[in-house]
Amino acid sequence: MNQQTLKKEYHFNGKSLHTGADVSVCIKPAEIGTGILFVRTDLGKKIPAIASKVVNTARSTQIGEGDAVVGTVEHILSAFTGLGIDNAIVEVSGSEMPILDGSASVYVKAFLSDGLLVQDASRKYIDIQESIVIENESGSRIEVTPADKPSIDVEVDFSSEVLGVQTAHWDESVDYASQIAPCRTFCFLHELEQLLSLGLVKGGDVDNAIVVVEHPVNGERADRICKLFNVDGIRTDKIGYLNNLELYFPNECGRHKLLDIIGDMRLAGGYLNAHVKAYKPGHSINTRAALAVLEK
């Protein structure tokens, strides 16, 4: 497999999930061996997409170099990996990537509309010689095992009556564009007020996130939640998905967790010849696993 890049530049505009700020992104082709490079155009700073540059993992993955940071990088990194894009430059006008529709689908559709440019150099795969196991106090676990090609299995368990236990799988034979890229980010309704108090999800709305209603709410609290989304008539009084949202897949939330870890593991520095088995993955443990691989 040779390295690949984009055939042209692509422009995206939208609001950021956590800051709520409007941001512009230009994604450009890059030379052989560049990897993925983020550029803060407002600060003139470059940030390579590697795990040693991770500075924050609160509900998204943020990388930084000095005073320059870029947050929510996992979706575009996932799109690059799922499509087989080795080299690209991501120019962003602010501190966070736009959330768009909450998935990787907008990027994927744009890139695939023109196809990819095959470059005159072999892809560099990352090999590991022994298994790596990362665990945390909440019971999450990631095991990275040597293999002859990349693959990832996730199991998601929030002890949720709505979600249940969900599993999802990716390897290079899976059609990422149709099976993983469309899967949207999600959160629980009862988390929203706390997340906002932490300065997060200011850009969330009913069009870019699946909101799981595990504990129905009514009255004044329901009114406050409607105001958070700046819309009227949201149903919060029964278990399920906010506003009777229809899922693309029964395990869409599990597939989004897979989408996230595909992006986070790209921070190991490239395509990882290993099987990644993740139980209750999240950005913190994902990026710890990527860093462990990077440092091997």
**Catalytic machinery residues:** 283
Of 281, 289, 270, the closest CA to residue 48 belongs to: 270
Exposed/middle/buried for 137, CB within 10 Å: 0-12, 13-18, 19+? exposed
In degrees rounded to 5, what are phi and psi of residue 97?
-70, 150
Q: Determine contact, residues 88/6, Cβ cutoff 8 Å.
A: yes
Give the 3-state secondary structure of residue 15.
strand
- The Cα 31–Cα 214 span in angstroms is 47
Tell me if residue 200 falls in helix, strand or coil.
Answer: coil
Degrees to nearest 5, angle at CA 240 with 205 and 283: 55
**Based on C-alpha coordinates, what's the Rg of the chain?**
19
Nearest to 63 by CA among 79, 51, 80, 76: 51
Q: How many CA atoms lie within 13 A of 157 on its CB side?
A: 9
Residue 212 corresponds to which tokens in the numbers above? 């799981």
Coil, strand, or helix at residue 88? Answer: strand
Q: Cα–Cα distance between 87 and 158 in angstroms, integer?
A: 35
